[in-house]
A and B are shown apart, each in its own frame.
Chain A
């Protein structure tokens, strides 16, 4: 009897103990966590969250410091434009424009946080997709589509950080936060991620997704920027030129005229390869409507767009670059001895004689200046469009700005300003692809190929339907002369032509500084331009003692992040 009792107790205990381990696995209830989202809809939602960081902006106070249009880090730093506004408007980004930034600059910390938040969202997609595969709640095919998009995005975001800082940490879904370091070369990881994207189908069913075409272009950009690997980039870009589709399956090509590219309604038009999809009047109060660019509108109160805040004014040097002779640009930079006449120092009521010399027509789509029609707002009337001519010069930005007919329709109404618009940043457009291809051809000794691609871009610019017109709608607003190059005599000439073409075609679109870095001519070129700009009436106050040195090529790693990493991150200067 006793033995039976003992035996039964032992058996009971064994039974009870064997039910053990699994019983202790509990998933939290009522929690939107990685288990809740481990299915097709959940992962898609996480992926959309990752795409939404393509504008760089997040409603928790990450705004123009991180704008993906790179108007500050690309165009202002590259001296296509200056900060604009007036002397009293002190701004966190001021040190950047005078190449004087310290690691403690809050702007850089914000940009860093924006990029790595985006990376963490991509990794969230991958982590949850793997959870779903483990749980069996998604098929391998669907999972692969999500994974490739997430990796392509992750590669893009890391690349965006690489071209700012160089020494960056690479974070993937398995990274242990204790092991984050920025002292190893992670470029190959970026390449691997972008390569995943090239395997995506071309028709992804939505204009906002990455597809094979987009990924190939991004991969080519990365190969060129990080490795100067023109051979592989050439292959990719040639493929794209032959076979190119937007993510919603529609065609890609050069838009017939230059100006139409920048109208809001055409943001997903034929020229677009990938455009960041802004949206307004969607309940976000402007946070999805180009929050990063909200400062960059003419300052005129009343009948002019935006009304605030007068930032991002083009430089005289940039304007002068559009001088042509016989339709061709002055590749020896002699245009600065024949500067474009401006209304600097004149009041709107003062008489003004416009410049009558030869100009590339693309000037008046890139820059707003006195006497020239400004979209459908009428003529730019001069200093009253500008916050303080004596501080930043007479010019206004134009490409990003909305038309009067679109106010309230494609601009945000639930906010203090119409400066939140649906004019999504043209992250990649076809002319950019052709010019990148030409660059690769030059560097691989195919000058003829480069010539034909560059001329294709110029031929489009030559289309007189695309000239800005006087108020009669017929007469060109200025003496527009642009023609194709007859030939490239040598590689040096071809390079200069290509580099100038990028400035004229893609000016004010956030590329310049990174282009200069890629070509290795940052220091000389920027100092050359600085020397000229300092001779302007606004020059000294705007630039004071600014000078560019080789240490300025990469931005400094934010000190706050170095502190938080317990010293595992190292400064890059």
Chain B
């Protein structure tokens, strides 16, 4: 039976009463038990899968318009955590089942047989099947690239009968009120200065506001009242068009897809545009004895991104660091600033007058940078040949490759409006070329003898990637490529269609590994039991499916190991390695010194994964459950401990020495039913994991990450999870001097300032009194998807939530402490801070003091609960009735209205609790580009 895909297969198929006991539906996609799913080099019946494999319905995937598949996976599959910002073109961080490395946790994507690690070129609308291999039973066949999980994607193929489809959605993104209610307006800022004078007892003449002895401040005539968030953001358009043609006959089939995606960012001048084209074709000769085909795609993108989550992020520099008094543009009579005389039309900035701080004018910067770009052209293609040698034995060969060219232009203009100006123009223009190829040959064996069924595949693969170079106007560099040579074998055995055993073995040789340890072996075993087929289960008619399964295996990660790690590198510097060899007195001859110590003995990192789970279907598969418990042990992790002087003073190399553990639970629960004209399809997904660092080196128990003005945010320590915040625990604010005197000695302690917990119970509060304060990994994430249909209407609501993730709100360092920069401050600091007369404030006393007890330390004040639940998508659609459509010879037409990110329920005080970062330190809000509400309408049409 062939399935004709339209956007809502479920809807049309329900209408056609095609749901039966054998139908396996995952995430709303109808798949028959006999359907073939690509898991690791071969197709397998979904019922026969013994590993932990999740299938994602590509139609559910493409419901929210985005160009990046990673972004769209959030909440669609259990075991996968996706964190993304609202910046168009910024890839989300996709993590499968926790963390298995300090250095690299990105999953592997296989698209039509071509492995890649960057999926941004792929048009999500081109996807036919997406399966996620989460355990070793399913992923170990990918060997030393599979530790972080594997996503296997096949793109759409043609079918008999000509079809045209067109999908479109268009809408607006609304920036929202942003920081308007969080930060001070101009008058409030001056009032805050007066409060600080009061608190500190300072008497002076303020250069802008007048003498502090006045009862209230006066504003200078040029004072503006800028809402920086409002000024730098605008409602922004987003649209996605996708047009496909497909058709064919018995011998040849083709699919062609064209996509155009354009998203402006709410931050001015940021945008992402992408065009894709694909043509896939399949041929078979000699009655399916010989099959061949190709998949070719081309993708062109053009985007402009701004820095995110660091001090250069415009969201940080504008709303959180620029005072409201600063005008965006100068109006009024000429005025002499620090380095510039401002005249009408000039950009305003911190260079106008003293005490304005040193933030840039984000509008000026965004405007000056608007012609910067990053453009990428990506070609990907693969061809395959499948020859049936004899019945049950096929030879398969796939050859594929990609070619990518990225070009970057970054122009920096000199500034005049700042208190610290950029004097020079700089231009960086570069082009990066990268290509790779893969050739896989395999023999596939399929035989059934009575009750015994055997499938086996043996293969040989060569890969060469990172072939390329980067050239810029400053210099050029060639990449060091990596080559792989591998053999793999997989065997599946089933008895009576209910007892299943599977084993895989992969041997990977990689140029990055040490010569003595060049080949890694990655085995896996898995087994399954289709209990519902047992006779003792036949009375329990309400159980329609029950499969118990378990797996054990090992996968590896070669990406953490740099090809440069093995070599000694040398450098030179006049003061360190040059020598006046010829006795000239006033000149020296160039010499080299070892700048980096090589470790030629390093090899891959290993993950050993045990997985136990079950898939169950109840009441004719109306209710379905998939459940997994797993334990993922990552060992031989690369870490670079400091080396003794006897190794020389070069940079220390990475050695395979550390380890981490993850345990977790994935669950998918769904319910579907129909009554008369109503249909309901709901699913609930749960992802929970606990990560723990087990060992760093034999003597090193921790290392700090994420350095900032207040120290390191994170201490990665044995027995704690990755990226755990570490610092002082604030127990409250000192209420009076007596309390200060009775407390252990704490530098800077004073009424209204932080009181820290005395962890070691001694008489001093110092760096021995720090502890772990929370971590950004959630206790669990979950999603809830409802699809309700009534006659021709459909209503979808999709919630996504995260619980137990802590956020380090570093923005508060600037806004809640008067002495941190002379920048923007928060309403909290003015209205909720501790004063002598009102000691109930929760924010420390507004004071010019910068010391250990105020704003110089990492402490729990900045840490907030980031739990949230977001209505990611709500959509109402209407399918025009078949009667109407058939008159105009259209197969289906659906129109819909959609709201993305309609609302969010969270206690987090910042703009968006979904905060990414680096694996070693993330969840730190430093001007995060927020995800915002989108309102769209669209059309799905097929001919």
Q: Which positions in A face B, CB cutoff 8 Å?
A: 2, 5-6, 9, 12-13, 16-17, 20-21, 23-35, 37, 42, 45-52, 54, 58-60, 109, 112-113, 116-117, 119-121, 123-124, 127, 169, 171, 175, 177, 180, 206-209, 248, 264, 267-268, 277-288, 410, 422, 424, 561, 564-566, 569
Which residue of B has the minimal Cβ distance to A409? B586
Q: Is B593 an interface residue (CB 8 A)?
A: yes
Which residue of A has the minimal Cβ distance to B564? A28
Contacts of B515 in A (CB 8 A): 25
Which residue of B has the minimal Cβ distance to A1? B389
- Flag if B485 contacts A23 (CB, 8 Å): yes
Give complex CA distance A208, B594 in Å. Answer: 21
Give complex CA distance A282, B574 in Å. Answer: 8
- Flag if B594 contacts A124 (CB, 8 Å): yes
Q: Is B13 an interface residue (CB 8 A)?
A: no
Contacts of A422 in B (CB 8 A): 580, 585-586
- Flag if B648 contacts A120 (CB, 8 Å): yes
Of B518, B585, B591, which contacts A52 at CB under 8 A?
Answer: B591
Q: Is B570 an interface residue (CB 8 A)?
A: yes
Which residue of A has the minimal Cβ distance to B464? A23
Of A13, A17, A58, A281, which contacts B576 at CB under 8 A?
Answer: A58
Which residue of B has the minimal Cβ distance to A17? B460
Return the 10 tightest CB-CB contacts between A and B, nearest first: A120-B648, A287-B575, A48-B591, A59-B575, A49-B591, A279-B580, A52-B579, A208-B581, A33-B567, A277-B580
Distance from B569 Cβ to chain A, minimum over Cβ atoms (Å): 5
Contacts of B587 in A (CB 8 A): 279, 282
Which residue of A has the minimal Cβ distance to B439? A16
Total of A-B residue pairs, C-beta within 8 Å: 230
18 example contacts (A-B, Cβ-Cβ < 8 A) are as follows A16-B462, A23-B485, A24-B509, A30-B480, A33-B570, A46-B570, A48-B591, A48-B592, A59-B575, A116-B646, A120-B649, A121-B648, A124-B593, A124-B648, A208-B583, A282-B580, A283-B588, A284-B588
- Extra inter-chain contacts (17) besides given A124-B568, A424-B580, CB under 8 Å: A9-B443, A16-B441, A21-B518, A24-B511, A28-B564, A32-B592, A33-B568, A48-B577, A49-B570, A52-B588, A52-B593, A58-B649, A208-B579, A267-B583, A282-B586, A284-B588, A422-B586
Give complex CA distance A66, B67 in Å. Answer: 59
Q: Is B478 an interface residue (CB 8 A)?
A: yes
Give complex CA distance A37, B591 in Å. Answer: 11
Give complex CA distance A49, B649 in Å. Answer: 13
Q: Is B479 an interface residue (CB 8 A)?
A: yes
Contacts of B576 in A (CB 8 A): 52, 58-60, 287
Interface residues of B in 515-544 (CB under 8 A from A): 515, 518
Q: Is B589 an interface residue (CB 8 A)?
A: yes
- Flag if B581 contacts A206 (CB, 8 Å): yes
- Flag if A2 contacts B583 (CB, 8 Å): no
Contacts of A45 in B (CB 8 A): 572, 590-592
- Flag if A280 contacts B581 (CB, 8 Å): no
Contacts of A208 in B (CB 8 A): 579-583
- Flag if A177 contacts B588 (CB, 8 Å): no
Contacts of B699 in A (CB 8 A): 566
- Flag if A564 contacts B643 (CB, 8 Å): yes
Which residue of A has the minimal Cβ distance to B390? A2
Contacts of A566 in B (CB 8 A): 698-699
- Flag if B570 contacts A32 (CB, 8 Å): yes
Most buried by A among B515, B586, B587: B586
Contacts of B649 in A (CB 8 A): 58, 60, 113, 117, 120
Give complex CA distance A31, B485 in Å. Answer: 24
Distance from A442 Cβ to chain B, minimum over Cβ atoms (Å): 35
Interface residues of B in 469-492 (CB under 8 A from A): 477-483, 485, 487
Of A58, A113, A410, which contacts B585 at CB under 8 A?
Answer: A410
Contacts of B3 in A (CB 8 A): none
Contacts of B441 in A (CB 8 A): 12-13, 16
Of A27, A124, A169, A279, which contacts B646 at CB under 8 A?
Answer: A169
Contacts of A50 in B (CB 8 A): 591
Q: Is B762 an interface residue (CB 8 A)?
A: no
Q: Is B888 an interface residue (CB 8 A)?
A: no
Given contacts A24-B509, A121-B593, contact A207 B582 (CB under 8 A): yes
Give complex CA distance A21, B571 in Å. Answer: 31
Q: Is B645 an interface residue (CB 8 A)?
A: yes
Contacts of A248 in B (CB 8 A): 582-583
Give complex CA distance A134, B132 in Å. Answer: 48
Q: Is B598 an interface residue (CB 8 A)?
A: yes
Give complex CA distance A206, B647 in Å. Answer: 29
Contacts of B648 in A (CB 8 A): 116-117, 119-121, 123-124
Distance from B295 Cβ to chain A, minimum over Cβ atoms (Å): 23
- Flag if B563 contacts A279 (CB, 8 Å): no
Most buried by A among B589, B591, B593, B648: B593
Give complex CA distance A208, B587 in Å. Answer: 13
- Flag if A32 contacts B571 (CB, 8 Å): yes
Contacts of B580 in A (CB 8 A): 208, 277-279, 282, 288, 422, 424
Given contacts A37-B592, A112-B645, A116-B645, contact A279 B586 (CB under 8 A): yes
Contacts of B858 in A (CB 8 A): none
